[in-house]
Structure 1
């Protein structure tokens, strides 16, 4: 007796209708249109700053804020550079060491808290992060007294110390997240080879930390360069950073020439833009590197 078995019927895969070329083009046009609209909205203040910085004193008025300069001149830029160049150099002297030191110390903290467990490690990490949630305005008076008691010179030295200390919470958080995503086999292999904690950090972990260092350097450099609150409390126009000089320039040029203050604002923002251009390709990767534990 022969039994014929019918083949099992397979459910045909579900077919999705392809998007028509017209709908795809409409979606793409809408997407690019929204991107262009947001870009224009963001760049409108930059446009006003740029065109006003090249206007003469009679042409730089609120009524002609949107207009192209009748006569293009670089006199505003020369005047802004003459006024701001000493404070820009002082800001570089303040931002570069504070950024590098806070990034290096945050890297050490993050490595220890991520890979070398000890009693109370989570408590120490929580206490470090607590510094991120303290408003600067609430600690200015006791902080000023502390700086005086420590005999730290007013101006750039005190600002370096403050930016290093207040930068440690965020740098520690970023590096701890990154080092927790590093495969444990790398650290264990170094330990098996006889490397201690510092040797493991220097030879194994530090060379692969470039993305996180890029994030921290951009973050700390931008915060230090744009800081005004610490600068007002712990420096003056004679020994302070560019934010104080820019404020004095804007107040002095308010009734005379808007072009000088606009040129000064653009001039003061160029270093942070340059840092982001140099390190920006690592920025997104550094932010995402610690989001998923490896």
Structure 2
């Protein structure tokens, strides 16, 4: 009886590597370098989280516990009364309506300022990237310089200009101010983002008969979602955390939340309530914290997709 000689099958390379590696001794997960990295990360996290922990713990303690002086101790009698007082009845000078007044003022300032500055910056970046009008390089350099001029240098001239057009100490006035200061950095962001888009796409739209606004609204704007997310995060957090511009230009009836917080903490009427002050501070920072926690992934994605290219 004839027998067919068996032919050895070739061994797959990855299988062979796994088989060879299985006999080797596994590397230890512990090493001095790994220990040093984790020690540094834990120390850095504690350094940044300790103030937040103190604020949270202090905001839910009654004043009797706070006077005992144990700053890091957990509350023995948990209470949310300081949060209610900070929101609804804390005194900001002579008015005792809480920090909620500043919250709604900040919302009225942030929403139109963010929309206007992003819209103008997007159109400027689009025009400077594709249409390149005469003097575009000089205009872009001026806008870039405007992004790095300190706010304090321009306060007095802007006060005189807004006073001459009857917008000083008003809601439209502070919106115009934030739009002006946000326009340079928004133009820079959108210009660099659009510079990463292939020029052939724009030329094809021009051949199809697209004009300035049609190409921008139907082609460029739908492709701008990543950079728009970056711009919204930057503008909302920057305008919400602003203090000096709101103090100078908003007027007494439109003071933002940061100015109201300063008034609560520095008020000299009655007893200094540290638990209410801490609760008001956390309430003021909730919006930027929520934006970064919710949109942090999109922020990094937008930066990586062209926000710093060009």
Secondary structure of 1:65's aligned partner:
coil
2:285 to 269, 272, 281: 269
Which ranges of structure 2 fall in alignment gaps of 5 or more residues?
Answer: 1-23, 89-97
Q: Report the counterpart of residue 4 of structure 2 in structure 1.
A: none
Q: CA RMSD in A?
A: 2.1
Aligned to 1:211: 226
Aligned counterparts of 1:62 and 1:163: Cα–Cα separation in 2: 44
Q: Distance in 2 between matches of 1:42 and 1:48?
A: 11
- Using a 3 Å threshold, how does the CA distance of structure 1 residues 56 and 119 change in structure 2: closer, same or farther? same
Give the conservation status (yes or no) of the 8 Å contact 1:167–1:220.
yes
Whether the 8 Å CA contact 1:56–1:259 is kept in 2: the answer is: yes
Q: Deviations 1:199-228 (Å, cap 9, x if unpaired)?
A: 111111111111111111111111111111
Specify the alignment match of 2:145 in structure 1: 130
- Hey, what's the Cα distance between the residues in 2 that align with 1:267 and 1:233? 23
Question: Which whole-Å CA distance do the structure 2 matches of 1:59 and 1:252 have between them?
Answer: 22
**Cα distance in 1 between the residues matched to 2:281 and 2:252:** 17
**Number of aligned positions between the proteins:** 276
Aligned structure 1 segments of 4 or more residues deviating by more than 6 angstroms: none
How far apart, CA to CA, are the structure 2 residues paired with 1:212 and 1:166?
A: 18
Tell whether 2:144 aligns with 1:154. Answer: no
What residue number does 2:202 align with? 187
User: CA distance change for structure 1 residues 126 and 44 in 2, over 3 Å: closer, same or farther?
Assistant: same
- Of 78, 81, 90 in structure 1, the residue corresponding to residue 87 of structure 2 is 81
Match of 1:51 among 45, 48, 57: 57
Q: TM-score, normalised by structure 2?
A: 0.83
Residue number in structure 1 paired with 2:125:
110
- Are positions 1:286 and 2:292 aligned together? no
Q: Which structure 1 segments of 5+ residues have no match?
A: 1-17
In structure 1, the partner of 2:253 is 238
In 2, the alpha carbon distance for the partners of 1:46 and 1:61 equals 19
**Equivalent residues in 2 for 1:61-72, closer than 5 Å:** 61=67, 63-72=69-78
Mapped partners of 2:221, 2:249: distance in 1: 34
TM-score calculated relative to the size of structure 1: 0.87
> 1:19/1:151 Cα in 2 relative to 1: closer, same or farther (>3 Å)?
farther
Shift of residue 292, structure 1, vs aligned partner: 4.2
Task: Report the 3-state secondary structure (helix = DSSP H, G, I; strand = E; otherwise coil) of the residue aligned with 1:64.
Answer: coil
1:248 and 1:19 map into 2 onto residues whose CA distance is 65
CA distance, structure 2, for counterparts of residue 160 and residue 121 of structure 1: 27
1:247 alignment partner, one of 256, 262, 266: 262
Equivalent pair of 2:237/2:288 in contact (CA under 8 Å): yes
1:122-178 CA distances to partner (integer Å, 9 max, x unpaired)?
100011112122221122112111111111152322111100011001000111110
Distance in 2 of aligned mates of 1:187 and 1:75: 59
